[in-house]
Amino acid sequence: MSVHVIGAGLAGLAAACQLTELGHDVVVFEAAPHAGGRARSYFDKQLGCRIDNGNHLLLSGNISALSYLHRVGARRSLLGPAEPIFPFRDARTGERWTLRLNQGSFPWWVLARARRVPGTLVYQYLALRNLKHAKPDDTVARLFGGSGNLYSKLLKPLAISALNTMPEEASATALQAVFAETIERGGYATLPRWARIGLSEAFIDPAIDWLRAHGAEIHFSERVTALQPGQATVIATPPWVAAELLPGLTVPTEFESICNIHFKYQMPPGEAGFWGITSGISEWVFARPEVISVTISAANRYLDIAPDDMVRRVWAELVKLFELEADIPPHRVLWERRATLRTTPAQMALRPNTRTSIPNVVLAGDWTNTGLPATIEGAIRSGNAAAMALMKPNGKSL
């Protein structure tokens, strides 16, 4: 069968790989001159090095992402500590701690004071079970009361980074979906991972090479504006493009931004290579070989701050937290305005299923109804699901 895939982000690439492996003739159309969509690397002339459009953190429980890397021969392209550790620093008090999960599935780490969140008691972790009973309209803050050390030092940073939405608005069921596949399964599913060299080197370039080596066609700078009648197609574009291609399709309509600031500065990686930051503007800090990269998720709340001001504030935070030189080094601000959908209960309800009203046209993308938040894992899983749905035209919808 001949299949067209529209969009060469991770969802489109995953669908293309799956379909190619199943022996279909795949043609990928990508509007940009390069693949990767919201997960890509490029050479930044001002900084004189390659950077990612944004730091992307995965966990070892992201099995679809890991299988995808395995398929395209890039399973060694991720990096991260051997243990499930998450070092944190608080921007207001300077307090430092490291969350140290244990490898197995029984969470005995909560019993050891030095491993858990400072200022928390063992019994308070029982509240995490509330997630299992979350209802579709529950928010993270409402479910956990929105105060206390467990909330402010663990649940809030997790919700902001995994859901890219402030916990007062973020869907608790979406957080549960992440918990169920990582923390609940134990430390071995919660090892932090990121691209060793860059996102393109890990997730994109190997997939393009693999697809071409297996006979798929890839056309760059080809924006698709209409579907070809009768043609089996995977629409793997952003939601607003999918709604243009398929009038009447219901899609999420609200988005959150993510701001990444890359500073040309070398800093020792510490025991994990990254830190979570609480009570500040920065959310995650990565010590990469040539740059310090700072991620600020759910960044719509900062949209009225000028980028230069943001740089000043973030650098001042880093100087204080990591004892760096006061002069601001060369830097690049990358502010992705529509980084992900807003993971609110209302927006979650607008996510469409894989199948559409046209039998041989299916949807893929992190914004479809994957059950997961808009992440690499969700995007890849949606691509796999789209490929399988085309294989079973009369099957049940996801």
The pairing of strands 361-363 and 232-235 is parallel
Query: Is 193 one of the binding residues for ligand FAD (CB under 6 A)?
Result: no
**334 CB contacts (<8 Å, ≥6 apart)?**
51, 53, 54, 259, 260, 261, 262
CB of 38 to ligand FAD, least distance (A): 4
Please choose, from the candidates 192, 243, 185, 254, the residue with its C-alpha nearest in 3D space to the C-alpha of residue 60: 192
Query: Is 285 one of the binding residues for ligand FAD (CB under 6 A)?
Result: no
The pairing of strands 2-6 and 25-29 is parallel
CB of 141 to ligand FAD, least distance (A): 21
- Of residues 336, 350, 360, 371, which one binds ligand FAD by CB under 6 A? 336
Judged by CB under 6 A, the stretch of 43-51, 175-183, 263-271, 370-378 that binds ligand FAD is 370-378
Query: Is 154 one of the binding residues for ligand FAD (CB under 6 A)?
Result: no
Structure tokens at 5: 């895939």
Query: Is 30 one of the binding residues for ligand FAD (CB under 6 A)?
Result: yes
Query: Is 53 one of the binding residues for ligand FAD (CB under 6 A)?
Result: yes
- Of residues 26, 69, 150, 258, which one binds ligand FAD by CB under 6 A? 258
Confirm if 5 and 16 have CB atoms less than 8 A apart.
yes
- Residue nearer to ligand FAD on the CB measure, 56 or 116: 56
Query: Is 51 one of the binding residues for ligand FAD (CB under 6 A)?
Result: no
Query: Is 58 one of the binding residues for ligand FAD (CB under 6 A)?
Result: yes
Confirm if 164 and 374 have CB atoms less than 8 A apart.
yes
- Of residues 18, 77, 278, 375, which one binds ligand FAD by CB under 6 A? 375
Alpha-carbon distance of 245 to 227, in angstroms, equals 7
**87 CB contacts (<8 Å, ≥6 apart)?**
96, 97, 98, 99, 270, 271, 272, 274, 275, 276
- Of residues 277, 310, 374, 386, which one binds ligand FAD by CB under 6 A? 374
- Of residues 66, 236, 362, 387, which one binds ligand FAD by CB under 6 A? 236
Query: Is 232 one of the binding residues for ligand FAD (CB under 6 A)?
Result: no
- Residue nearer to ligand FAD on the CB measure, 116 or 331: 331
Helix (H) or strand (E) holding 371: none
Return the number of other C-beta atoms located less than 10 Å from residue 251's C-beta.
20
The pairing of strands 41-44 and 25-29 is unpaired
- Of residues 4, 56, 262, 331, which one binds ligand FAD by CB under 6 A? 56
How many chain residues interact with ligand FAD (CB under 6 A)? 37
- Of residues 260, 278, 343, 384, which one binds ligand FAD by CB under 6 A? 260
Query: Is 234 one of the binding residues for ligand FAD (CB under 6 A)?
Result: no
Confirm if 259 and 164 have CB atoms less than 8 A apart.
no
Query: Is 158 one of the binding residues for ligand FAD (CB under 6 A)?
Result: no
Judged by CB under 6 A, the stretch of 28-36, 96-104, 142-150, 206-214 that binds ligand FAD is 28-36
**DSSP for 97-140, written as a single string:** EEEE--SSSS-GGGGSTTTS-TT--GGGGGGGGGGGG--TT-BH
- Residue nearer to ligand FAD on the CB measure, 116 or 342: 342
End-to-end, the C-alpha distance of the chain in Å comes to 22
- Contact set with ligand FAD (CB under 6 A): 6-12, 29-32, 37-39, 53-54, 56-58, 223-224, 236-238, 241, 258, 260, 336, 339-340, 365-366, 374-377, 379
